[in-house]
């Protein structure tokens, strides 16, 4: 009878597609909004992941997240280096500074200053130039994706060329992407692009500019405290957790492994902003829309077939057989609807890959969507099953 249950489901094409669309739309909304949420939240700590080969981040204990550094005294670096078990420690500057382009337009940029000697904390992928070029005078390396959209140069200005005195550019004129050799100003100080890099999109979505630590603090507004963090590598055989505890004990600064620091940053955004609530509402809406559309459609489908279920019951089908048929119909509709929704989300994700849209589908997300669709199907089928259980087979002799 189960084969016939499937034929009954597929045979009523209007309702079948309605159920499929309802479940597909629900799983699409749930998975897509969850993926965008995860993608967006991942950006809040993306910078931490960009800095490789670091065992510990050392920062001010009152700091909430990576993009809001509480500057440390310059002596913090030496104090950390003095802790037993530290193989090396490097300073890191991170701050938002204003870049001025040749046409006079201004853009806020995320400037990262890495250790002059070791260049530790540099970008993971270099598109043009060499990391060592950062040691050249006024050298900076810019992140290519955001810069292509936000650090736009006048097309008439050749790469590396300096505007002639008194030369004025039309702000609305044709533009080109930033290239190696171009000159920009950071806080009215000259900076020359010596390389292009790729790195993960960050939450602030400002172009990231890498330079050396010593140069970065000349770009930054004058202050007694400018160091954002200290990057620490543990000596061989040293447990990073124990080392973190020692650093905290001896310096009063907080030290966390990259993963814990990322989770601290994520926790801030989750607690202090309305982002989870907003996305949670969208995801809940997807669920309720699924219940409303698919549930209603499935219920109507069962109601339409109730007289046939009644006939089957009269002919000797057990209630369990009929419930199995309804459950199978719900399961098949659920699997197909889920596949439809997840397929659409995957296509959306592939289309969004490499773009500005935050999208990250963790393996848990399809499982969550599947769980939600399962709940929708159970809710829809339980109501329908109740009608089947209560069905009086003698009703088949009643007139139309």
Q: Rule CB under 8 A: which residues touch other proteins?
A: 1, 3-4, 7-12, 305, 307-308, 310-319, 321, 392-394, 396-400
Nearer to other proteins, 84 or 318 (CB): 318
Nearer to other proteins, 108 or 314 (CB): 314
Nearer to other proteins, 10 or 106 (CB): 10
| Cα dihedral 28, 34, 37, 43 sign | negative
289 Cβ neighbours under 8 A, 6+ residues apart: 22, 25, 26, 29
Please state, in angstroms and as integers, the Cα–Cα distance from residue 347 to each residue in 25, 26, 54, 283, 337, following that order. Answer: 14, 16, 36, 19, 15
**Minimum Å distance from CB 12 to other proteins?**
6
Query: CA-to-CA distance for 91 and 89, rounded, in angstroms?
Result: 7
Nearer to other proteins, 307 or 360 (CB): 307
Nearer to other proteins, 320 or 363 (CB): 320
Alpha carbon 6 to chain centroid distance?
39
How is 137-157 classified by DSSP, letter by letter? TTEEEEEHHHHHHHSPEETTS
**Minimum Å distance from CB 19 to other proteins?**
14
Length of the chain equals 400
Single out the residue of 368, 382, 341, 305 nearest to residue 21, CA to CA: 341
**Minimum Å distance from CB 313 to other proteins?**
7
**Minimum Å distance from CB 369 to other proteins?**
29
Query: CA-to-CA distance for 122 and 93, rounded, in angstroms?
Result: 11
**Minimum Å distance from CB 20 to other proteins?**
16
Name the strand (E) or helix (H) holding 304: helix 296-304
Nearer to other proteins, 311 or 344 (CB): 311
**Minimum Å distance from CB 385 to other proteins?**
16
Nearer to other proteins, 332 or 370 (CB): 332
Helices and strands (DSSP H and E) totals, the chain: 13, 12
Nearer to other proteins, 126 or 317 (CB): 317
Decide: 93 and 111 in contact? Cβ < 8 Å.
Answer: yes
Query: CA-to-CA distance for 238 and 232, rounded, in angstroms?
Result: 12
Please state, in angstroms and as integers, the Cα–Cα distance from residue 154 to each residue in 146, 160, 161, 290, following that order. Answer: 17, 12, 11, 50
Nearer to other proteins, 1 or 292 (CB): 1
Decide: 113 and 92 in contact? Cβ < 8 Å.
Answer: yes
**Minimum Å distance from CB 14 to other proteins?**
12
Half-sphere exposure of 17 (CA within 13 A, CB side): 2
**Minimum Å distance from CB 41 to other proteins?**
46
**Minimum Å distance from CB 278 to other proteins?**
43
């Amino acid at each position: 009878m189960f084969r016939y249950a499937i034929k009954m489901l597929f045979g009523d094409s209007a309702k079948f597609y309605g159920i499929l669309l309802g479940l597909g739309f629900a799983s699409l909304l749930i998975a897509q909004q969850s993926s965008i949420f995860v993608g967006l939240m991942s950006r809040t700590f993306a910078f931490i992941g960009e800095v490789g080969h670091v065992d510990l981040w050392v920062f001010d204990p009152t700091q909430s997240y990576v993009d809001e550094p509480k500057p440390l005294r310059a002596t913090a670096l030496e104090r950390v280096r003095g802790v037993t078990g530290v193989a090396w420690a490097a300073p890191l500057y991170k701050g938002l500074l204003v870049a001025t382009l040749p046409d006079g337009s201004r853009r806020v940029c995320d400037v990262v200053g890495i250790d002059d000697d070791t260049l530790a904390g540099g970008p993971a992928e270099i598109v043009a130039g060499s990391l060592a070029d950062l040691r050249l005078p006024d050298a900076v390396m810019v992140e290519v994706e955001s810069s292509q959209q936000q650090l736009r140069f006048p097309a008439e200005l050749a790469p590396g060329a300096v505007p002639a005195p008194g030369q004025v550019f039309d702000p609305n004129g044709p533009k080109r992407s930033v290239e190696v050799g171009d000159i920009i100003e950071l806080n009215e100080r000259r900076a020359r692009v010596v390389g292009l890099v790729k790195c993960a999109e960050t939450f602030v979505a400002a172009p990231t500019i890498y330079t050396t630590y010593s140069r970065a603090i000349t770009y930054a507004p004058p202050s007694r405290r400018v160091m954002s963090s200290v990057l620490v590598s543990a000596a061989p055989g040293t447990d990073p957790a124990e080392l973190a505890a020692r650093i905290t004990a001896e310096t009063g600064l907080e030290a966390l492994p990259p993963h814990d620091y990322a989770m601290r940053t994520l926790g801030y955004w989750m607690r202090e902003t309305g982002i989870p609530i907003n996305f949670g509402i969208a995801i809940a809406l997807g669920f309720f829309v699924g219940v409303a559309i698919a549930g209603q459609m499935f219920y109507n489908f069962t109601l339409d077939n109730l007289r046939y279920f009644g006939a089957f019951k009269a002919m000797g089908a057990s209630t369990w057989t009929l419930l199995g048929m309804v459950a199978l119909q719900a399961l098949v509709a659920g699997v197909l609807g889920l596949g439809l929704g997840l397929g659409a989300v995957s296509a959306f994700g592939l289309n969004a890959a490499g773009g500005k849209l935050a999208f990250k589908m963790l393996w848990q997300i399809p499982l969550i969507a599947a769980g939600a669709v399962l709940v929708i199907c159970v809710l829809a089928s339980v109501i329908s099953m109740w009608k089947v259980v209560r069905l009086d087979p003698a009703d088949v002799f009643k007139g139309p």
